[in-house]
Structure 1
């Protein structure tokens, strides 16, 4: 599997933004085998990258530290 083609989302807030605000459909959801944290797997494309930029910008406006993708 080419990992750079996919985005693993471990944030419930980010997942909800991508899924419900932006209407981006995830490929699958699962739990990390070592940490037990749930994640959602998205295909990395231009639509997703633009949504992530928007999410990060909203976080900066609120004074939150956003993770780089």
Structure 2
């Protein structure tokens, strides 16, 4: 049985804004040591997963 990661690391400012607008709060923000790209860390919850699925389905850049 595969264990799903408890956390989600978001590197997309657009996804971050979508999540924030829909009431999700990130745990922390930081920079990836290798790429120096900013990320936001979220805890995976059923509501978070629902929003992520909605964003993925409606994302025009996919």
TM-score normalised according to structure 2 size: 0.88
Unmatched 5+ residue regions in structure 2?
A: none
**Cα shift at 1:57:** 1.4
Could you list the runs of 5+ residues in structure 1 that have no partner in the other structure?
Answer: none
CA RMSD of aligned residues (A): 1.3
Q: Report the alpha carbon displacement of residue 49 of structure 1 after superposing the two structures with TM.
A: 0.4
Matches of 1:39 and 1:53, distance apart in 2: 19
How many residues get paired?
59
For 1:53, the equivalent position in structure 2 comes to 53
Task: List structure 1 segments (4+ residues) > 4 angstroms apart after TM superposition.
Answer: none
Could you give the per-residue CA deviations for residues 41-64 of structure 1, whole angstroms, max 9, x where no partner exists? 0001111100001101111xx4x3
Counterpart Cα distance in 1 of 2:5 and 2:57: 22
What's the counterpart of residue 7 of structure 1?
8
Give the structure with the larger helix fraction.
Answer: 1
**Structure 1: distance between partners of 2:36 and 2:8:** 18
